[in-house]
Structure 1
Amino acid sequence: MTVAKRSNALRIAAADAAAQRLGLHPGLAFTDAKLRVAHIEVVEHDAAADLALLERIADWGDRYSPIIAIEPPDMILFDITGVTHIFGGEAELVADIEARLARQGFAVRTAIAGTARAARAHCRFGRGGVVLPDAVSERVAGLPVEALECGLDILIALRRAGFLYLEDFLSRPREPLAARFGPELTDRLAQILEETDRSLTPRRPVPEFLAEQRFADPIGLMEDIALDSLAADLCGQLHRQGQGGRSFELGFYRADGKIERIGLLSGQPLADPGTLRRLFEMRLDALADPLDPGFGFDMMRLAVLAGDPLGPVQSGLDGKVEASREVSALVDRLSARFGAGAVQRLIARDTHLPERASLPVPSLSDARDSAEWLGTGEVPRRPLFLFYPAPQVDVVAEVPDGPPRRFRWRGVSHDVARAEGPERIAPEWWRRTTDTRTRDYFRIEDSEGQRFWLFRYGFYGREVEPVRWFLQGIFP
């Protein structure tokens, strides 16, 4: 039995079957429990540990339905629409769940109904089981008003008004009930009667396509795992729908309930089973901690979490389309080997400051440019290699506001042969920053043909602080 402080008193938070047979139910004050039973084994309630356990069981339950929601402290809801035939029917599905959880040491009560609220009510306040559509009113009639779970104040008001069981509501009009006790009560009553329903909010992304393989005997060796059939099945589904996967997930379900999930991203819609298999093999080989089969895997699932239409590709005479596809394939292989975050690309940002004009993001991410790249389709006006922070250089100029004639960097003097500029960039005054001075940028070529990008920080004669020169970047 566990106890926790609730309503300014130490109360029973959870009790096993033996304690409940002695009249020790959750919510009972601990002092009252000690008066009823002198010797009680008590531990402090750990809500975080209970929630973590509930999450782990929900992860394990992913094998039965892709749509699962948890309702702490002790309930998991499954949307089993369209999946019962895989297990031979509703009764067989429930039997499999109860048997597997019993082997893990859990005692459970299950209920199947037409709505989530009805299943919750029959499971928590009834005898559970399968509620057939033609027996809804009969099964609901015997449930106590606590099954509405509308709060203590409304429960007390209902009991004072003579409502003890849900059958007391069946012959009464709903409008007076909503006016007296609030619309929440009638909404929950309609859900328990399976007149209306609320959709579950899945705790994990629902796969768009999936393929799974169940094993009669758990597989204990990684060498026995073959991805060919799973990849072929999944890619066959994608081709029939004209889709390609962009985000994949490979799940390994262990016999003891633990699940290992491996994610994979693709830079282009992917529906080729051979490529998909090779990418996952590379991903598995690159894991820092190899998969631990434990007592063996009894199921594997390959799913598509996100995809795009798989349209025909028209090859151009210049070969740019094929080159782009080859680059995307290379990015996919590198990301599978080293991780999605290790391969990056630059996206443009809406600012003129060079150090803020681009942002590195994973190459397979959906991040888009927030501005146009400067100099698109022309000779780059800014170098690809930038210094941050920019090193200061010593400059000699013919006129104060003119381009430099000579500058010294890293102990080497460079005579300027050609100069272009200035490109003036004002500070971003709307940001809280110490960078409040205007910059004048110059493209410089020295006498040896090396090209640099320098800027003058500040104005001569207009500001108190001295003017300084910096080297922002180097052109290739």
Structure 2
Amino acid sequence: MQIIAVNDAAVAVGLEIGMPLANARAICPDIDVFDADAAADTQALVHIADWCDRFTPLVALDLPYGLFLDISGCAHLFGGEAAMLSLVCRLLSRQGFIVNAAIAGTPACARALTRAVPGRIAPDGEEAATVAPLPVFALGVEDTITRGLRRAGLKTIGDVASRAPREIAARFGQAFTDLLREVLGQCDAPINPRRPPPDFIAEQHFPDPVATEETIAATLSGLAQKLVAAMERQGKGARRLEASFFRADGAVRTVVVDAGHAATRANMIDRLFRERLDALMDPLDPGFGFDLIRLSASRVDTVVQEQRDLDVHTQDNDDVAALIDRMTARLGRQQVVVYLPQDTHIPERAMRIVPVQQHLPQALSAQWPQRYEGEPPLRPLRMFERPEPIFVIADFPHGPPAHFNWRRARHRIARVEGPERIAPEWWNLATGMNPAKNREARARDYFRVEDSEGCRFWLYREGLYRREVFEFRWFMQGVFA
């Protein structure tokens, strides 16, 4: 068992990362030891990254314990780089974390400064001079490379940079040479943000945290008006909106709503969030209050102006879309669905269940098979997602069974209508699909049957009858009303 993390008190008594636990107890018998939990550490880092979204939308993980924040164009909002650096460290320390931070023009340079001289800001274009006196361990490379550099007499980053790049690459590899160039500011490697920045953002900072529902609702309404005004200037409407609530103790709660059509009115956005907040199983807990509320449009569409005053059908569609949005916000996208017809011969795949919010135009224009007036239903009202096998008591090659067992019950067939043959799609057969291995590639003979008690079923026989051998099985496809 080895030590993988230490605090300042442990370092003061001579403990270090990688030391066996037995040696550490010999040095300091009274140390407190906790089992390592890499998953919990990563989850805590993700929560910290969510909280850092208040400073910039471009936040990336630097596992196992680091974060990158791209603050280009954001520092002036917090009083400059020095003030922003102090603010981030102070707020995270208040939450109980030990934090080191630095600012530089490249991520690798900022990481090296954080390891060796936290709190340093490298001026633009002076990264090489800033990191030159730092020891080589600040590069964060493997121990074998660090020991090799020291054995070669290269104890600082400046010493390594003074050697020719081809010499360094020949000894330690091209990856180390590329890292050194990034640390020196000679090239840049952009960070990979956790999520793409939203298209439009409106946020409200509070000098004192707020906790009342009235204040939160009024703030969301005001932010919705600002967001709509910003989108209207560019002819956009929101399809997905995210409301982020930043608590004073560092917790962040995000509520997401979707719109079937591009939302262009503030009252529509306000109504969707009211429905969503009222339907939350875990209510929005303000704790000690929220000091920042942000409303962002993470997905937008171009708004096409249409005449709606005299078009009754357009107004009806708008009302239906608004109702669907409200139901989806309250119940969830997967709970409000619609059926769409599919071009297939397989009955259980004749329709597809999709969220109606994203497929309302397809649902309104879908073409379903027409049934003549007075014609009895040819398909059962209840269709099984997967056909259920039945056990045939008396099997006849060219007709339905006289009896069958299904779900531990025996049924005697009194009336039969059929067969109706449904052949597999020819395009599946053309691909060389083996019918013996794929049930959907085998022909089916369907029968509408009624048992002695008046229950009506839709059965089918899979496979074809040959004189030499019986090559078919029976399945229950659905039940008539």
What range is the shorter-chain TM-score in?
0.7 to 0.9
Contact 1:247 1:305 in 2 (8 A): yes
Asked if 1:80 is matched to 2:71, the reply is yes
- Equivalent runs, 1:272-421 vs 2, <5 Å: 272-313=265-306, 319-347=312-340, 351-365=344-358, 376=367, 379=370, 385-388=381-384, 389=387
1:180–1:314: structure 2 CA closer, same or farther, 3 Å change rule?
farther
Match of 1:439 among 436, 444, 455: 444
Contact 2:422 2:443 in 1 (8 A): no
Alpha-carbon distance in structure 2 between the residues aligned to 1:110 and 1:424: 68
Match of 1:53 among 41, 44, 47: 44
AA partner of residue 464 (structure 1): F
- Equivalent runs, 1:138-177 vs 2, <5 Å: 138-177=129-168
1:73–1:454: structure 2 CA closer, same or farther, 3 Å change rule?
closer
Alpha-carbon distance in structure 1 between the residues aligned to 2:275 and 2:355: 18
Asked if 1:183 is matched to 2:174, the reply is yes
Alpha-carbon distance in structure 2 between the residues aligned to 1:423 and 1:469: 14
Which residues of structure 1 form unaligned runs of 5+?
Answer: 395-399, 403-409, 445-451
Match of 1:26 in 2: 17
Contact 2:203 2:223 in 1 (8 A): yes
Contact 2:241 2:298 in 1 (8 A): yes
Match of 1:108 in 2: 99
Match of 1:119 in 2: 110
Match of 1:64 in 2: 55
Which residues of structure 2 form unaligned runs of 5+?
Answer: 372-376, 393-397, 401-410, 450-456
1:378 Cα offset (Å) = 6.4
Match of 1:217 in 2: 208
Alpha-carbon distance in structure 2 between the residues aligned to 1:321 and 1:415: 47
Match of 2:224 in 1: 231
SS at match of 2:283: coil
Match of 1:257 in 2: 250
Asked if 1:464 is matched to 2:466, the reply is no
AA partner of residue 336 (structure 1): A
Q: Deviations over 1:356-383 (max 9, x none)?
A: 23331222358999xx999948636986
AA partner of residue 214 (structure 1): H
SS at match of 2:53: helix
1:256 Cα offset (Å) = 0.8
Match of 2:121 in 1: 130
Contact 1:459 1:467 in 2 (8 A): no
Q: TM-score, normalised by structure 1?
A: 0.80
1:471–1:52: structure 2 CA closer, same or farther, 3 Å change rule?
closer
The count of aligned residue pairs is 444
Alpha-carbon distance in structure 1 between the residues aligned to 2:235 and 2:356: 24
Which stretch has the larger CA shift, 162-171 or 276-285? 162-171
Contact 1:401 1:460 in 2 (8 A): no
Alpha-carbon distance in structure 1 between the residues aligned to 2:89 and 2:441: 68
Alpha-carbon distance in structure 2 between the residues aligned to 1:296 and 1:351: 55
Alpha-carbon distance in structure 1 between the residues aligned to 2:194 and 2:289: 26
Alpha-carbon distance in structure 2 between the residues aligned to 1:368 and 1:196: 49
Contact 2:4 2:18 in 1 (8 A): yes
RMSD between aligned residues:
3.9
1:254–1:422: structure 2 CA closer, same or farther, 3 Å change rule?
same
1:367–1:147: structure 2 CA closer, same or farther, 3 Å change rule?
farther
SS at match of 2:330: helix
Contact 2:237 2:302 in 1 (8 A): yes
1:436 Cα offset (Å) = 6.7
AA partner of residue 255 (structure 1): A
Q: TM-score, normalised by structure 2?
A: 0.80
Alpha-carbon distance in structure 1 between the residues aligned to 2:4 and 2:315: 64
Alpha-carbon distance in structure 2 between the residues aligned to 1:65 and 1:374: 43
Alpha-carbon distance in structure 2 between the residues aligned to 1:284 and 1:262: 8
1:473 Cα offset (Å) = 7.5
1:209–1:299: structure 2 CA closer, same or farther, 3 Å change rule?
same
Alpha-carbon distance in structure 2 between the residues aligned to 1:316 and 1:155: 74
Asked if 1:97 is matched to 2:88, the reply is yes
1:124–1:429: structure 2 CA closer, same or farther, 3 Å change rule?
same
SS at match of 2:4: strand
1:192 Cα offset (Å) = 0.9
Alpha-carbon distance in structure 2 between the residues aligned to 1:182 and 1:433: 52
1:105 Cα offset (Å) = 1.9
Q: Deviations over 1:219-275 (max 9, x none)?
A: 121122112111011111211222221111111111111111111111122221110
Match of 2:395 in 1: none
Contact 2:435 2:441 in 1 (8 A): no
